[in-house]
Structure 1
Amino acid sequence: MPGRSFADAVRWSREGTELFLDAAGGLTEAEYEAPSALPGWTRKHLVAHVAANADALGNLVRWAATGEETPMYASPEERAAGIARGPRMTGAYLTEWLTRSAAALRTAMDGLTHSGWQARVVTAQGRTVPATEVPWMRSREIYVHAVDLDRGISFAALPDDFVEALVADIAAKRGLEVTELPYGPPAEVAAWLAGRPHALAGAPPLGPWL
């Protein structure tokens, strides 16, 4: 995709992880149990989802490294169950899982060879993609959900180049041409496309994404 390179995605995945870890760090048990910006999800749901996502993407990196088919999740039910377990975990355990899974994913990605990055893997949505897509998949999760934590991070606080790439990516997935996007700041357009609260006047409602 024009405007987004593999190096960009690796950088965003690292910077986004640091942002999310900082935002989630120091949460008290009561703060963990408070609602996130995602309807029906507490911060515990959200952090469990982000931690499980790192483990799942780690499966794809392992697949790319070894050639042994390792799906992100054994089934859609396993993914849902991982999120549902979040509220039953302590905040301390969630923080440890979040930190550990993020570190393991980075270590796995750092160790992948050039040929490994070219290997084909299958996403949870059934798309066959090169492993080079993994850092971008992680970047989207970690940055958008950093906003969802409702800890004072907005789309406007995310890197401009990431926001531009995110707008192009979601617009393509929603089948929208650039000319069909509402006029406004890119961060607000990104929020609208992602089905999050935004300040665009007259933009039609969109369902949630990610």
Structure 2
Amino acid sequence: MIDHERDLAHVREATEKLLTAAASLDNAAAAEPSRLPGWTRGHVLAHVARNADALVNVLRGLPMYPDATTRDADIERDSGRPVDVHLADLRESADRFLAVGAEPADWSRTVELRNGVTDSASRIPFRRWVEVDLHHVDLGVGYELEDLPEEFTTREIAFLAERFSGLENVPATVVRSTDGGTWTTGGASGGVTVTGPAPDLLGWLAGRRDGSALKAEGGPLPELPAL
């Protein structure tokens, strides 16, 4: 059962960790490349802030972003700011999200995200937790997939496995963690089993690692579509 209040607490904790990490950067370090192709660390920080406001929109029944062009332009606009401005924006946007999350609401209602995707409002706090913690890793400042909480890793593997289920361009795949846990994904044909440590499985599913640390049986390691 999804516990949105527990997830909001995780969001708060993850945000504090991200703010501490970002505060260790100087302006030159913020302008250096992140682990995401084409994005500096400043782009990552700007995206995390703008995502908080976008999820506030979602919870209020508004469009997540006006459109894809505006979303990308806002991130580009904010990417080159001094670190102190990034920190203030991260804090203020996070507070806005948590404030809306604390309001009385029907958490069982359906909300709309980008590209017509719908979900339960109760899952939005976890989606925010993913944005904060996974992009913390993307900064490349010493916080790794292995440092993510076990609950986070297990739940995000399950979410991504569900996301790729039914895709005919992904073979039917069993995803098995050596740390415990088994999931299925992909289409109806094929029959590949991918095994490895949970952080490496998450990295592969989330497009953060190439899967070289994983073992594939019954076929090659499936190529996954971009998120």
TM-score range, shorter chain: 0.7 to 0.9
- Is residue 140 of structure 2 the alignment partner of residue 140 of structure 1? no
- Which of 140, 152, 163 pairs up with 1:173? 163
Kindly state the Cα deviation for residue 89 of structure 1 after the two structures are TM-superposed.
2.3
**CA contact 2:195–2:215 (8 Å) conserved in 1:** no
What is the DSSP-based 3-state SS (H/G/I as helix, E as strand, rest coil) of the residue aligned with 1:118? coil
What letter matches 1:101 in structure 2? S
Residues 136, 185 of structure 1: alpha-carbon distance in 2 compared, 3 angstrom cutoff: same
Match of 1:110 in 2: 102
Tell me which residue corresponds to 2:28: 30
CA contact (8 A) 1:58 1:105 kept: yes
Match of 2:9 among 8, 11, 14: 11
TM-score with structure 2 length normalisation? Answer: 0.79
Q: Does residue 1:45 correspond to 2:58, yes or no?
A: no
Q: Tell me how large the CA RMSD over aligned residues is.
A: 2.1
Higher Cα Rg: structure 1 or 2?
2
CA positional deviation for 1:201: 4.0
Amino acid at match of 2:54: A
Quote the residue 1:66 is aligned against. none
How far the C-alpha of 1:12 sits from its partner, in A, is: 2.6
Per the alignment, residue 187 of structure 2 pairs with none
Higher relative contact order, structure no. (Cα contacts within 8 Å, ≥ 6 residues apart): 1
The number of residue pairs the alignment matches comes to 199
Aligned counterpart, 2:142: 152
Residue 52 of structure 1 deviates from its aligned partner by: 0.2
Q: Deviations over 1:127-176 (max 9, x none)?
A: 22232121011011111101001010111101101100011111111225
Query: Aligned partners of 2:9 and 2:152: how far apart in 1?
Result: 10
Return 5+ residue gaps in structure 1 as ranges. 64-69
Query: 2:93 matched to which residue of 1?
Result: 101
Q: Is the 8 Å Cα contact of residues 196 and 215 (structure 2) preserved in structure 1? A: no
Partners in 2 of 1:74 and 1:91 — Cα distance?
27
SS in 2 for 1:183: strand
Choose the corresponding residue for 1:196, options 208, 216, 220.
208
How much identity, in percent, do the aligned residues show?
Answer: 34
Give the unaligned 5+ runs of structure 2: 166-172, 175-182, 185-191
Query: What SS is found at the alignment partner of 2:194?
Result: coil
Report if the CA contact (8 A) 2:22-2:83 is conserved. no
TM-score w.r.t. the length of structure 1 is 0.85
On the 8 A contact 1:23/1:149 being kept in 2, the answer is no
